[in-house]
Structure 1
Amino acid sequence: MISTDDRIEQKIKRLNPGSIVFTEDFQSFGSSGAVAVALHRMVKKGILRTLARGIFVKPKFSKLLNQEVLPSTEQVAKAIAKRDRARILPTGIYAQNILGLSTQVPLKSVFLTDGSPRKITIGNRTIQFKKTTPKNLALKGNISKLVVLALKEIGKDKATDDELNKIKTLLKRENVKDLKHDISLAPQWIAEIMAKTL
């Protein structure tokens, strides 16, 4: 009979480098104790890296950088949301960073979610999930939803001409139907900025 270790190792070998996995992904392979021991062995062998308690990644090596590359905060957050069947939205400075409005990479990334609120530490980075209203998560457009959150962070009448021009350029790439939908949900002052791109 094939051991828990071998079954887990075979499954990991089939994954693409950079894939994020959770302890729960292997619960059908044996008792929780056997799975925990097997995963610990995989980490010791270098087959997996521990990101946080119960969260692992299959190592990915970049020839260009000549070093191992860890997943981004957003990739980890998305993997957790997928596992929890929850929706998430990046907030504030992180939304600005994704849009290219800020070069600041926050060490603490905050996501709004309809899942469980929690805080996860990965190295020197922190991912925080904050419970939010369904209205916030009803935003649809890949770009427009980030614009709403980025502008909320910047504040009313505080966006520079450069930031507003960049936002207009970005929103021109948004699906018009999604953009109109998100304008209807945005605070009045943000809706007015976004409507100028229609």
Structure 2
Amino acid sequence: PSTLPERLYERVFAESYLYFYRNRERFSDLRIVIIYPSRSKEQSDIRPYLSQLNSPQVNRIYLDELGDIRSLPVWVALMVLTILEDEQATEEAKYLLTRSQRETPEPANRAIIDLLTTIMVYKFEGKSQTEVEEMLGITLKETRVYREIREEGEKSLVLRQLTRRVGELPQEVRQRVESLSLEQLENLGEALLDFTSMADLETWLEALES
């Protein structure tokens, strides 16, 4: 939104302390980080919270004061990307993609690509996911959305083929098949061509799980 709630600090501190209270046994310390695009967006009435805001346990970050986006760690630079104008955001997004591929090992690089794509889709509301990917030079196969669609498609295909081969699958067997990775589903898609009964499928699954 263009303006942040004037009672943001009321909500941040109330919910943070309540969450900490309810999960006290899990945590030994409390840290609160509040991220603003700029100081001009900060809640104006901060007097009731001066002691909390000046505490070493509370950090306020203003994205437009972090410096050159290209000098920042990639994960921090992604936050700064959200406040840039469209033309600059596109240029810097391409730079961050190249830098991430060079510096960040998998699977972290995949996570960065997915997050960066999500940020740009949000910034360019009039463009589709595919249009944004083309604008950034990202191939569809690199995105989480594509991998999820491919996995769901492979799962649906394998289940249909199994039903034709060995009959309706019991719920327990169906769940085991649905939990397989994309690579395992592809392997099953090849193996099921030799199945003649439910026993063949169960033997294959047991061998995989052993």
Task: Please tell me the TM-score bracket, short chain as reference.
Answer: under 0.3
Bigger fraction of residues in strand? 1
Larger proportion of helix: 2
User: Which has the greater radius of gyration?
Assistant: 2
TM-score normalised by the chain length of structure 2 = 0.27
- Structure with the bigger RCO (C-alpha within 8 Å, sep 6+) is 1
